[in-house]
Amino acid sequence: MTGIQFITDEKGRKTAAVIDLKKHKDLWEDIQDVLVSRSRGHEKSIPIGKVKADLIRHGKLRG
């Protein structure tokens, strides 16, 4: 794959990657999305009804 270089250890195992961000911007954005999602996995969820009610109350959504 062009635009991606892998760094390997002494046994030839891939340990890191260098990504050409100009060429693979969409891929990088997907990776960032996954990392953000995983970092928030421990956060308490909010029911969609409460989110909608809060948005309506703050004028961000029409009821």
CB 3 within 8 A of CB 24: yes
Q: How many domains does the chain have?
A: 1
Q: Is residue 24 part of a domain?
A: yes
pLDDT tens-digit series, residues 3-60: 999 999 999 999 999 999 999 999 999 999 999 999 999 999 999 999 999 999 999 9
* Residue 29 belongs to a domain: yes
- pLDDT confidence of residue 63: 79
- pLDDT in the model for residue 42: 94
Return phi, psi of residue 11, to 5°. Answer: -100, 5
pLDDT for the residue 6:
97
β-bridge partners, 8: 14
Q: Is residue 45 part of a domain?
A: yes
Residue 40 lies in a domain: yes
Structure tokens at 2: 């062009």
In a domain, 62, yes or no: no
Give the pLDDT confidence score for residue 44 in this predicted structure: 94
Look up residue 7 and give its two tokens.
Answer: 């760094």
In a domain, residue 63? The reply is no
Phi-psi bin for 20: left (phi > 0), alpha (psi -120 to 50), beta? beta
Of the pLDDT bands very low, low, confident and very high (cuts 50, 70, 90), residue 1 is: confident
Residue-range definition of the domain harbouring residue 53: 4-57
